[in-house]
Structure 1
């Protein structure tokens, strides 16, 4: 279930209430006349089944409530109510399959913004991965994958393509490109420092690396895994099962490939640099393609399900 807290201008409250009452899957409607102060108006509270939430939110936006008042949505983790159970049964479809498009757009907007925190995470992840490739340490590679925040902008690009939001697409692409460029530049400087103190060396990079050699050896499996990870990551976002994102993060070779390319460049190893860059691009392309197709499939399937009586 979702909990909606609405602030409505007094003259629009009746319309809002009628919309809520006519939406299958809503319950626990509360109207508090004149309770809001900034902006001034009435406060309307209600609960709605997740599968009916997107339609109700879209209707509230058509009433202009996002401009004249406020729409706040929270997820209810526990609701002990017979009326709530009846509302969920009446709503079409299954809550786990429903996509809250406004929530997805907002979430990807936040995750795909080029901020100091985002830049710090992707840079630190790439530096950790650089240590992993030089030491041929798979544990460090997995750790770097888990730390890397690059799935946010990738999901943002997919969402922007499906929802036709060019500003979100540009924001996500900027975060992705600038983030990786900055991370690789800092990692190159970090590698030079580590080489100066004798911790990194060209011999270590070019030695036999049974645990991390796959990073600069892209093949069809790289693309296949990226596609599968993109599907899983998109489903985890749309179904609010964020725990699956950790598994997605450690399934694709994005950050390690960027790190390997950065280290290889300072040692003039053009072969590893080129192959690592190919691995990076292959994974990015696979995730975006899979994410976009998954969202399109979910959109189509949900529309068909909602048309059923």
Structure 2
């Protein structure tokens, strides 16, 4: 429920009461006895869906724009008349004015925003280097990225240029600050006693996850955008939704910074692509859902202009996502190919060991390493497979044994391989 309170300018009380009575809602009037600019305070309890049409009717009737209209969320209303009142207005959507106010409140002041973002990025960077998912999730709780994303979309929808510009600026500068923060931290930690000698950031699972993104990564961003809009328009779960949005943005941004600190362009490109796709997807989802939820500018004459702006922004964002998705698609395919080769080789070696066992020999084939990286898929580099073969000390192997192993593995994997066979004489007891 909401309590709408209208500070009525002098000579306009009859106008306000006429509008309220036509709306069919209850109200009370508190008359002012001093010499101020207002002659009365009209309090009107209404359900959330009734706020926007009520405010629109007051504006259409000519209520002085210099008056105050305050909308207060009422936690509890005790009355037998509530059911009749809520039955008149169906829906869960909050008023446009509430939407704008909430979006503005979710985008904190610059000092607060950047302070929280730097702290969050520092914690997330530590979590990435420690390969700690719990630390990364903990860092996301304090990341203030939900507000700017929603502020940008709401500002466009309700034709508030200042709010839209502020939201976009906070997002762009904020992500740049996150990348810079992680780069500085990485530069300070690299080569220090806090990390082991020869530490390779690409070997850390939490970092590897951000530098090998696939098309499925879009679901996190799109889902976060949907949840953010629902949270904003229905005032539920904003903290948890903010965590989801931060997870989509801060860890990959921190990974970009670590890639800069370690001088790895591939890390910067792949993680940077993930950041851009996620932030664009969140903004795209928010724009589309808010428009289809029925939110429009306050002035009817600006609706067509705003619709044109929304349509052009959606088109630009979609085009950018499609271009960036080429990189995601390439990473997805490359990751699949490397995983497929590794799986086929491992499966074939197991089959070869089982065949030897069935034939009564004691040869055993073990895969010790497969050198086949994502970039090798596109540069045409052959995968290098190292195979450890256990054999009895007196077992003689043909001269072309290594070639036979290579041919079988190539047939199973469907690609040309460089195979290194290491022979180990093994004695078994029992």
Q: TM-score, normalised by structure 1?
A: 0.86
Q: Cα distance, 1:158 vs. partner?
A: 1.7
Report the equivalent of 1:90: 88
| 1:13-46 CA distance string (max 9 Å, x none) | 111111122114x32x111121577654321111
The correspondence for 1:213, drawn from 182, 201, 208, is 208
Q: Cα distance, 1:208 vs. partner?
A: 2.2
Report the equivalent of 2:261: 266
> Are 2:37 and 1:43 aligned?
no
Report the equivalent of 1:303: none
| Greater Cα offset, 148-157 or 108-117 | 108-117
What SS is found at the alignment partner of 2:18? Answer: helix
Tell whether the 8 Å contact from 1:202 to 1:267 is kept in structure 2 after alignment.
Answer: no
- Give the distance between the partners of 2:194 and 2:207, measured in 1 at CA: 18
Q: 1:63 to 1:164 in 2, by over 3 A?
A: same
Matches within 5 A, 1:96-135: 97-135=92-130
Q: Cα distance, 1:249 vs. partner?
A: 2.2
Q: Cα distance, 1:224 vs. partner?
A: 2.0
- Give the distance between the partners of 2:208 and 2:142, measured in 1 at CA: 21
Report the equivalent of 2:328: none
Q: Cα distance, 1:192 vs. partner?
A: 2.9
Report the equivalent of 1:304: none
> Are 2:55 and 1:60 aligned?
no
What SS is found at the alignment partner of 1:67? Answer: coil
> Are 2:28 and 1:30 aligned?
yes
- Give the distance between the partners of 1:114 and 1:248, measured in 2 at CA: 17
Q: Cα distance, 1:66 vs. partner?
A: 7.3
> Are 2:16 and 1:16 aligned?
yes
Report the equivalent of 1:193: 188
| Greater Cα offset, 191-200 or 140-149 | 191-200
Q: TM-score, normalised by structure 2?
A: 0.63
> Are 2:223 and 1:223 aligned?
no
Tell whether the 8 Å contact from 2:143 to 2:242 is kept in structure 1 after alignment.
Answer: no
Whose helix proportion is higher, 1 or 2? 1
The correspondence for 2:243, drawn from 239, 245, 249, is 249
- Give the distance between the partners of 1:170 and 1:179, measured in 2 at CA: 14
Unaligned runs of 5+ in 1: 301-309
Report the equivalent of 1:3: 3
| 1:72-94 CA distance string (max 9 Å, x none) | 11111211101222111122x13
Tell whether the 8 Å contact from 1:191 to 1:200 is kept in structure 2 after alignment.
Answer: no
- Give the distance between the partners of 1:42 and 1:198, measured in 2 at CA: 71
Report the equivalent of 1:307: none
| Greater Cα offset, 37-46 or 200-209 | 200-209
- Give the distance between the partners of 1:105 and 1:202, measured in 2 at CA: 52
Q: Which has the higher contact order (CA 8 A, sep 6+)?
A: 1
The correspondence for 1:183, drawn from 158, 163, 178, is 178
Q: Cα distance, 1:200 vs. partner?
A: 4.6
Unaligned runs of 5+ in 2: 296-430
Q: 1:14 to 1:119 in 2, by over 3 A?
A: same
- Give the distance between the partners of 2:123 and 2:264, measured in 1 at CA: 20
- Give the distance between the partners of 1:74 and 1:219, measured in 2 at CA: 45
> Are 2:295 and 1:289 aligned?
no
**Count of aligned pairs between the two proteins:** 294
| 1:118-158 CA distance string (max 9 Å, x none) | 11111111111111111111111112222211111111122
Q: Cα distance, 1:184 vs. partner?
A: 2.6
Tell whether the 8 Å contact from 1:3 to 1:48 is kept in structure 2 after alignment.
Answer: yes
| 1:218-259 CA distance string (max 9 Å, x none) | 221111221111111101110111x25414523642011111
Tell whether the 8 Å contact from 2:183 to 2:257 is kept in structure 1 after alignment.
Answer: yes
- Give the distance between the partners of 1:202 and 1:63, measured in 2 at CA: 74
Task: Report which of the two structures shows the higher radius of gyration computed on alpha carbons.
Answer: 2
Q: 1:220 to 1:39 in 2, by over 3 A?
A: farther
| 1:165-199 CA distance string (max 9 Å, x none) | 32221111111112222233233223333346532
> Are 2:67 and 1:69 aligned?
yes
| Greater Cα offset, 262-271 or 188-197 | 188-197
- Give the distance between the partners of 1:202 and 1:273, measured in 2 at CA: 22
Q: Cα distance, 1:217 vs. partner?
A: 2.1
